[in-house]
Amino acid sequence: MALQSLDIQRRSATTVQPPIIRTPATNSGVAKLIDTSKCIGCKACQVACMEWNDTRDVIGSNVGIYDNPMDLTSESWTLMRFAEYENPNGNLEWLIRKDGCMHCEDPGCLKACPAPGAIVQYTNGIVDFHQENCIGCGYCITGCPFDIPRVSPADNRVYKCTLCSDRVAVGQEPACVKTCPTGAIVFGTKEDMILHAQGRIEDLNSRGFDNAGLYDPPGVGGTHVMYVLHHADQPGLYSGLPEDPQISPSVSLWKGLTKPIAVGIMALTALTGLFHYIRVGPNEVSEEDERRAREDDYA
């Protein structure tokens, strides 16, 4: 077992349980909590992510807004998204959200992936891509309710935030957490993070944010990256954070019931042919048929 993992909760395109014996004592795994009310938009997390993961995105150009780069890419696994919101009192609120993989408990990417072992979910909840098994089909993008995975044009493999699974595996926090200067990003067991969020929400409530709350969407079984939002009743304000994300019904059907039923019916069709032949026998042209054809020709 030297080089294998014993903590694989789910594995893409795999119909049996992968090795799962090593499960953390905290049964809900780990979580990263991003407090949008503490974020100052400095992008240190983006830099730390690039640095730790050793990715270098192409240098873009300034289009007049703060977002840089403009979107997640195969090299930029996290991104500050800046939204200017005019609240009902007529005041401007600058809502900054660190976007990236949410590490869903029920990951749509993993469900959609056709390549065995290209996507795994560890028992601590982290959803990780294994690019050596990736075939570049992009089904994970089709499956993701948050529009996160990106195909690299360089190698046709898909990349996204790993929640620094390599750091977490050796007891360290993710690089973005490590670097955040305001403590807007914290990391720990999911229980602890929910507790921490409760304290933050009380504080925000006392400051007049009556709708402050935790974003841990149940539609995907909860996530291992959560947000504290000042306006938890309107997640859409934060650069289109989905209100009630879930795996699309098309994807669920495509990757769920359709698979066994379709394979079963195809096999049955072939078997029906076999048994039809066995029971009825071949449909042959007899000497008689040939003779009558000849007769008819002269008729």
Partner 1 sequence: MPDFKDRDLIVRYSANQRTNHWIVAITFILLALSGLALFHPAFYWLTNLFGGGQWTRILHPWIGVVMFVSFVIFAATMWRSNLMDKRDWQWVKQSRDVVNKREDRVPESGKYNGGQKLLYFLQIILLLGLIITGIIMWRQYFWAFFPIGVIRVASLLHAFFAFVLICAIIIHIYAGLWVKGSVRAMTRGTVTPGWAWKHHRAWWRSLRDQRRRSTDTPIE
Residues near partner 1 (CB under 8 A) are 13-15, 114-116, 133-139, 141-142, 147, 151, 156, 248, 250-251, 253-254, 258-260, 262-263, 265-266, 269-270, 273, 276-277, 280-287, 289-294, 296-298
3-class state of residue 13 by DSSP: coil
* Nearer Cβ to partner 1 (158/184): 158
Burial-class residue 49 by CB neighbours within 10 Å (0-12, 13-18, 19+). Answer: buried
- In the chain, the amino acid numbered 269 is T
* Nearer Cβ to partner 1 (195/270): 270
Which residues are bridge partners to 10 per DSSP?
121
CB of 99 to partner 1, least distance (A): 16
Q: Are 71 and 151 in contact (CB under 8 A)?
A: no
* Nearer Cβ to partner 1 (6/257): 257
CB of 159 to partner 1, least distance (A): 14
* Nearer Cβ to partner 1 (6/271): 271
Query: How many other β-carbons are positioned within 10 Å of the β-carbon of residue 124?
Result: 23
Distance CA 224, CA 100 (A): 12
Q: Are 28 and 189 in contact (CB under 8 A)?
A: yes
Please give the structure tokens belonging to residue 154.
């360089």
Distance CA 8, CA 163 (A): 15
Distance CA 247, CA 221 (A): 10
Distance CA 188, CA 10 (A): 21
* Nearer Cβ to partner 1 (198/258): 258
DSSP classification of residue 132:
G
CB of 140 to partner 1, least distance (A): 10
Of all helices (H) and strands (E), which one includes residue 98?
strand 92-100
CB of 211 to partner 1, least distance (A): 29
* Nearer Cβ to partner 1 (40/270): 270
Q: What are phi and psi of 202, to 5 degrees?
A: -60, -45
CB of 216 to partner 1, least distance (A): 23
CB of 55 to partner 1, least distance (A): 21
* Nearer Cβ to partner 1 (169/262): 262
CB of 258 to partner 1, least distance (A): 6
